[in-house]
Amino acid sequence: MVKIAKFFLYLLFFIGMLLFFLPKENLFYLLEQELSQKEIFISHESIKERSFGLQLKHATISYEGIEAAAIKKTDVVFLLFYNEVTLNNIELSSLVSNYWPQKIALCKVNYSLLHPLLIKAVAKGLFGEIDAEYALDKGELKVLLRPSKLLLKNYRSSLRYFKKLKNGEYSYEKSL
Q: For residue 18, give the H/E element and its range.
A: helix 2-21
Is position 172 within any domain?
yes
Answer yes or no: do 88 and 105 share one domain: yes
Q: What percent of the chain has pLDDT over 90?
A: 75
Q: Residue 57 sits in which domain range?
A: 23-71
User: To which H or E segment does residue 119 belong?
Assistant: strand 118-125
Number of domains in the chain: 2
**2 within a domain of the structure (yes/no):** no
Which residues touch 27 (CB under 8 Å, ≥6 apart)?
A: 78
Res. 90: pLDDT tops 90:
yes
Residues 86 and 132 in one domain: yes
| 88 found inside a domain | yes
pLDDT at 80: 80
Would 8 be classed as within a structural domain?
A: no
Nearest to 77 by CA among 95, 57, 55, 58: 55
Determine how many CB atoms are found less than 10 A away from the CB of residue 130. Answer: 19
- Asked, for residue 13, whether it belongs to a domain, the answer is no
Same domain for 64 and 83: no
Specify if 142 maps to a domain.
Answer: yes
Which range, of 4-13, 105-114, 126-135, averages the lowest pLDDT?
A: 4-13
Residue 117 has pLDDT above 90, yes or no: yes
Domain-located, residue 160: yes
Same domain, 111 and 156: yes
Looking at the structure, do residues 126 and 62 belong to the same domain, yes or no? no
Q: Beta-carbon neighbour count of residue 160 at 10 Å?
A: 6
Beta bridge partners of 69: 61, 92
Assigned domain for 7 exists: no
Residues 118 and 39 in one domain: no
Identify the pLDDT of residue 21.
Answer: 87
Would you state the pLDDT for residue 72? 96
Residue 70: partners with Cβ closer than 8 Å, 6 or more residues away = 58, 59, 60, 61, 90, 91
